[in-house]
Amino acid sequence: EDQVTQSPEALRLQEGESSSLNCSYTVSGLRGLFWYRQDPGKGPEFLFTLYSAGEEKEKERLKATLTKKESFLHITAPKPEDSATYLCAVQKRDNDMRFGAGTRLTVKP
């Protein structure tokens, strides 16, 4: 069965303390892996798309990487404004995007 699992469920960091979020998937025929940021009470905001193993994307303090089984979202020297829930999603076929439950990140000043 196709699954998308994110870990940890919640992560608390001190400002400046780098870490990584994990998204593991068991999907055959992956067409793309997407990362989103979601603030409380808001819709998810698109961050990155990764298409093939070995691919990397960067945006400010965030860097996303992809292997054949998982993706990592690396956060370097996070700031309190990086606090949010980070969602990953995998696309298997047209209009079939499966989301993980998310990692809730809190960055303390």
Site for other proteins, rule CB under 8 A: 4, 9, 31-32, 34, 36, 41-46, 49, 51, 87, 89, 91, 94-102
Q: For the CB of residue 76, give the shortest distance to other proteins in the complex, in Å.
A: 23
Contact 72, 21 (CB under 8 A): yes
- Residue 65 Cβ, how far from other proteins at the closest point, in Å? 18
Identity of the residue, 6 or 65, whose beta carbon is nearer to other proteins in the bound complex: 6
Cβ-proximal residues to 23 (8 Å cutoff; 6+ apart), any chain: 4, 5, 6, 33, 35, 70, 71, 72, 73, 88, 100
Which CB, 36 or 66, lies closer to other proteins? Answer: 36
